Amino acid sequence: MGAILATHILVSVLSGLVIVDKPQGWTSHDVVGRMRRLAGTRKVGHAGTLDPMATGVLVLGINKATRLLTYIVGTSKTYTATIRLGETTITDDAEGEVTEARTAADITDDAVAVGVAALTGPIQQVPSSVSAIKVNGERSYARVRSGEEVKLAARPVTIHRFDVHSITRIDGGRVVDVDVTVECSSGTYIRALARDLGNALGVGGHLTALRRTQVGPYSLDQARTLEELAEELEVLEMSLAARSLMPNRELSEEETTEISFGRRIAAGPGAGTPDAATAEKPAAAFAPSGELVALLADTGSFAKPVLVFAPGTGTGQAK
């Protein structure tokens, strides 16, 4: 990932990303609030919610780096998780009350493997009803908590990898714990995978542990706990963050000047191909100094700026 800027909490913080190892029991909003205090700025956002029960990688943007978050939200995620077969809960995870229990003693390892295989690849997934998805302007979880029965529409997601590491039979097989790794597209609910695996096996299921280990190019190895960040706030500077996140384009001095004023330049080498930069998936453009100048999209024979950053600051300050 390259160098990371380590800044004492009393020193002014540059715009950049902070990779947090979210603690259990904290909401993503709780972590954002804590970071606002540590960084001394209100301008902090996150690139994808983690449930309070979950731990692991939560990517935060500080100041102008919040503009990069939209390009991180849609990246693939990787999780380690434990799925408990034999019990159904109202929330599809361990935080909800058990609504039904059926013995899983007859569930074989082969049956688990077949169920996992059926949930791998492109699938249609119904999100957990206790989720932040809005239904007629109100969060689904709020409707459920008020006693309403909520049925959400299925949506396409892709499970790139669904690996089973161990299967543990508890209390004579009454429940079965399955430890897994899941790599998936944005928008996937791991709770829903646990629910659907249990339902497919006829015994119900829910999630008892969840840890996010990767968000796009950012991994648990780079993450720091809130306690560590309180001691030394490590900020991944915007140029370094953009280099790892999206295709790179190196600009000449002339191109840097043109783009800095919001003008078009010649399209990149991938123009006209499936690799062409788009507004949704732009290329990060860098000055000869290595500074992040802009995010670019190819349009015909030209590349135009999606977002321009002020030149000469070295900190990725946006216009």
Q: Which residues are catalytic?
A: 51
Cα 57 to Cα 9: distance, rounded to the nearest angstrom: 21
Pairing of strands 248-250, 283-286: parallel
Phi, psi (deg, nearest 5) at residue 72: -95, -35
C-beta neighbour count of 31 within 10 angstroms: 22
Are 164 and 153 in contact by the 8 Å Cβ rule? The answer is: no
Residue type, 1: M
Residue recorded with tokens 């002020």: 310
Report which of 154, 165, 214 is spatially closest to residue 185, judged by C-alpha positions: 214
DSSP for the chain, please give it.
----EEE-TTSPPPSEEEEEEEPTT--HHHHHHHHHHHHT-S-EEESS---TT-EEEEEEEEGGGGGGHHHHHTS-EEEEEEEEETEEETTSBTTSPEEEE---TT--HHHHHHHHHHTSEEEEE---SSSS-EETTEEHHHHHHTT----PPPEEEEEEEEEEEEEEEETTTTEEEEEEEEEE-TT--HHHHHHHHHHHTTS-EEEEEEEEEEETTEEGGG-B-HHHHHHSEEEEEHHHHHHHHS-EEEPPHHHHHHHHTT--EEPPTTTTSTT---SSSPEEEE-TTS-EEEEEEEETTEEEEEEEB-TT-SS--B-
